[in-house]
Amino acid sequence: MANIHDNPNRDTWVKKIAGLSTLAKGHEFLNDFRVKHMSPFKTDFSLELDGQWIECKIEEKVALLKHKEFNDTQFLNNCTCGSNAQQVANEVVAKMDACNDMYEAERIHVNFRLAFKPPVMPVNVFLDTDRLLGTKLMELRNTDYYALPLEELRKVRGVRVVTLQ
């Protein structure tokens, strides 16, 4: 009996993921995948049905490589790229604190999530940073976010409407 998760697209990605042998390669592979296939700003829509499943499998592999290559202190305090997680978080929060434009704040928050969502950044640092960024974003959005008509809001945000035929 065939497994519901088996399909040629996923099989191709499983082979690519299996070829990741170092944390550095895994980190780069995961970030590239997220930017190309999981971002709200993505340009490639080929993995609409399988993207989250594939991302999960890449994250599993990166987490295993992280466990293999990092000692306990590094595991709790460093990103997979080797940077100190708290320093990275402090820089992003400072950038968000200086931001007064809700659209720029959205980009900061989205880009943070794409670049540092676990297993890239330790969960303890990621969640607190995500909370701080989200709080600031909601404060900026709170004033007249829906005051613009839908078409104007789309124009301001640079939305491109995609329709399936």
Per-residue tens of pLDDT for the chain, all 165 residues: 467 667 888 999 999 999 999 999 999 999 999 999 998 888 788 888 899 999 999 999 999 999 999 999 999 999 999 999 999 999 999 999 999 998 899 999 999 999 999 999 999 999 999 999 999 999 888 777 677 788 888 888 788 888 887
* pLDDT at position 2: 65
Domain layout of the chain by residue ranges: 1-69, 82-165
CB < 8 Å & 24+ apart, contacts of 37-45: 38/114, 39/110, 39/114, 40/110, 41/110, 45/162
Q: Say if residues 73 and 59 touch (Cβ distance below 8 Å).
A: no
Question: Dihedral sign, CA of 48, 23, 92, 124?
Answer: positive
* pLDDT at position 124: 94
- How far is CA 15 from its chain centroid? 22
Phi, psi of 2, rounded to the nearest 5 degrees: -75, 145
CATH of domain 1-69: 1.20.1280.10
- 45, 51, 42, 35: which is closest to 164 by C-alpha? 45
| 82-165 CATH pick, 3.30.750.24, 1.20.1280.30, 2.40.50.140, 1.10.287.3510 | 1.20.1280.30
